[in-house]
Structure 1
Amino acid sequence: MTDSAVPTRSDQLTVTTRLAPELTAAELYALLRLRVDVFVVEQECPYPELDGKDLLPGTRHVWATTSDGRVAGCLRVLAEDGGVQRIGRVCTAGFARGTGVGALLMGAAMELVGDAECVLDAQTYATGFYARFGFQPEGEEFLEDDIPHITMRRR
Structure 2
Amino acid sequence: MNFITKSFSELTTYQLYEILQLRAEVFVVEQDCVYQDLDGKDFKSLHVFGIKNNKIVAYSRIFKPGDYFDNASIGRVVVAANERKYGFGHDLMKASIKAIKTHFNADKITISAQVYLKKFYESHGFVKIGEEYLEDGIPHIRMDRG
Correspondence for 1:77 among 50, 58, 62:
62
Aligned to 2:6: 18
What is the 5 A alignment of 1:110-149? Answer: 110-114=97-101, 115-149=106-140
**For residues 65-109 of structure 1, what are the alpha-carbon distances to aligned partners after superposition, in whole Å with 9 as ceiling and x for unaligned?**
112x22211001012428621100001111101211111111011
Contact 1:83 1:117 in 2 (8 A): no
Q: Distance in 2 between matches of 1:42 and 1:78?
A: 25
Structure 2 counterpart SS, 1:50: coil
Query: Which structure shows the bigger proportion of residues in helix conformation?
Result: 2
Runs of 5+ unmatched residues, structure 1: 1-12
Give me the TM-score of the superposition, normalised by structure 1: 0.84
2:94 alignment partner AA: G
Q: Retained in 1: the 8 A contact 2:15–2:56?
A: no
**TM-score normalized by structure 2?**
0.89
Q: Secondary structure at the match of 2:125?
A: coil
Partners of 2:3 and 2:50 within 8 A in 1? yes
Does 1 or 2 have the higher relative contact order (CA < 8 Å, sep 6+)? 2
Alpha-carbon deviation of 1:54?
Answer: 0.8
> Map of 1:1-155 to 2, 5 A cutoff?
13-56=1-44, 59-67=45-53, 69-81=54-66, 84-114=71-101, 115-155=106-146
Give aligned-pair identity as a percent.
Answer: 39
Instruction: Please give the per-residue CA displacement for 1:40-67, whole angstroms capped at 9, x wherever unaligned.
Output: 11111111100001122xx111111112
Deviation string, structure 1 residues 89-133 (Cα, Å, up to 9, x no partner): 001111101211111111011112224210001111111111111
Contact map agreement 2:60 2:78 (CA 8 A) in 1: yes
Letter in 2 for 1:34: L
Q: Alignment partner of 2:143: what SS?
A: strand
